[in-house]
Amino acid sequence: MFRASAPGAEIELHPPGEQRYNQDMDLPIRPVTADELPGFLHAEEISFGERATPASIEDLSKIFEPDRTLAVHDGERIVATTAAFSFEVTVPGNRQLPAAGVTAVGVHATHRRRGLLTRLMARQLDDVAERGEPLAILGSSEGGIYGRYGYGPATFYSKVEVEKVKAQLTGEPEPGRLVLLDKAEAKKLIPPIYDRVRRQTPGAISRSDAWWPGLIDDPEHRREGSGERFDVIHERVPGEVDGYVSYRFSHARESGRRRNVLLVLEVYGLDDQVRTALWRYVLGVDLVDVVHAYCAVDEPIGWRLTDLRQWRTVHTGDMLWARVLDVPVALSARTYEVGDRLVLRVEDPFRPQSGGTFELEGGPDGAACRPVTAEPDLVLGASQLGSAYLGGVRLATLARAGLVTEVTPGALGRADRMFVTPRAPWCDTDF
């Protein structure tokens, strides 16, 4: 739905002179008022090479928090933007942590390469810290921007294609019934089950009451040329919703033949049996040639197919980026697969007050983390801590890339055994 950075934000179009750069450093940054929010949203869309419409402005105005916006003003014009949503993110151990969902980051092409993005990022992180949020998260439209500000890619997805006619699930159908909802029913039944499932899914984030109408009403400007959204719930016990799937159709022509594509938007179930039932439904919808879906990198349903080769991964990518602002609070909030003690030195050049040396003692029942002056077992940057925090990236992998230093022999293996999670973290809420 939203993007954290404008495409090409780091491209130098017309290198500014030193005098103009110094002038830009004096341009004021402030939140916009509710009355100014439409202008802010227009400016944000321009950064992405788009023009906001009255429908999209009305849609976005319902979920943006004006006091969490930041805009750079050049006279009467807004020339750079960023904003944040107030989220909870599920961390390993199924605990909830407040997080700032950074969005709408963009600088107009007329004002790039003048330090405005760095000023916005610094000011925003100060605001996040003042609110007591130990974590900032975002989805990046460009991969080369946010590492310098301490963010690291933390969750990943696989885009898969399944030839429906050849895709058969093994085993007998799962017990329960499926119900196709109208929009009024979907608004009532889907948000509660999403909230239950996201609380047991590391990496998943909360969705406010204001978030859901725009998703389920499914205005045409969000469809990108595809058909309308369908929502189906699953009930193992009548009247007790335990999962849902949302999807839409698109159509293309290949060699003169119409090819019908079912696009899976979301699949959420309280357990794997429910999720399998929902996938069995998806793979049984009539008049479908191929199913497209974005899934966690360890999505297990392909292994239930009689022919695993029909589960084709066509693309992988990063989704959620994480940035730790309060290391003791963040590391104390999650649980760890095995009990151990490690001393970590976190180097944070962009925000030195968030770095330091910390002792972590943690295990399956909880953890405690505090600043210390001891020699570290591992040395890593803020962005590497963000990548490893949810369990989606092994510290040993980052060490092989030269981004983590093992000081105490064996510390990398111990850290990976602590930070690993039984399933890959997952977030499919686009913001």
- Predicted pLDDT at 23: 52
- Strands 290-296 vs 340-347: parallel, antiparallel or unpaired: unpaired
- Predicted pLDDT at 94: 97
Whether 9 shows a pLDDT value over 70: the answer reads: no
**Tell me: the pLDDT tens digits for 269-288?**
999 999 999 999 999 999 99
**Tell me: the pLDDT tens digits for 161-186?**
999 988 999 999 999 999 999 999 99
- At 187, which amino acid appears? K
Q: What share of the chain is helix, strand, coil (3-state, %, to 5)?
A: 30, 30, 35
Confidence band of 15 (pLDDT split at 50, 70, 90): very low
**Tell me: the pLDDT tens digits for 67-95?**
999 999 999 999 999 999 999 999 999 99
- At 167, which amino acid appears? A
Report the SS3 class of residue 267: strand
Whether 292 shows a pLDDT value over 80: the answer reads: yes
What is the rounded distance in angstroms from the CA atom of residue 101 to the CA atom of residue 72?
Answer: 19
- Strands 135-138 vs 95-107: parallel, antiparallel or unpaired: parallel
Q: Please, which residues have CB within 8 angstroms of residue 11's CB and are 6 or more apart in sequence?
A: 112
What is the rounded distance in angstroms from the CA atom of residue 128 to the CA atom of residue 100?
Answer: 7
What is the rounded distance in angstroms from the CA atom of residue 331 to the CA atom of residue 382?
Answer: 13
What is the rounded distance in angstroms from the CA atom of residue 233 to the CA atom of residue 356?
Answer: 48
Element (H, E) at 397: helix 395-400
Tell me if residue 431 is catalytic.
yes
Confidence band of 256 (pLDDT split at 50, 70, 90): low
Catalytic residue among 2, 64, 87, 146: 146
Backbone region of residue 356 per phi and psi (left: phi > 0; alpha: psi in -120 to 50; beta: other values)? left
Whether 154 shows a pLDDT value over 50: the answer reads: yes
Cβ atoms of residues 316 and 393 within 8 Å: no
- Predicted pLDDT at 428: 95
Whether 5 shows a pLDDT value over 70: the answer reads: no
Residues of the chain with pLDDT > 90, as a percent, come to 85
Confidence band of 4 (pLDDT split at 50, 70, 90): low
pLDDT, averaged across the chain:
93
Whether 213 shows a pLDDT value over 50: the answer reads: yes
**Tell me: the pLDDT tens digits for 22-52?**
556 689 999 999 999 999 999 998 888 888 7
Domains of the chain, each with CATH number or no CATH: 18-149 (3.40.630.30), 158-318 (3.40.630.30), 327-419 (3.30.1050.10)
- Predicted pLDDT at 56: 84
Whether 402 shows a pLDDT value over 70: the answer reads: yes
What is the rounded distance in angstroms from the CA atom of residue 107 to the CA atom of residue 99?
Answer: 24
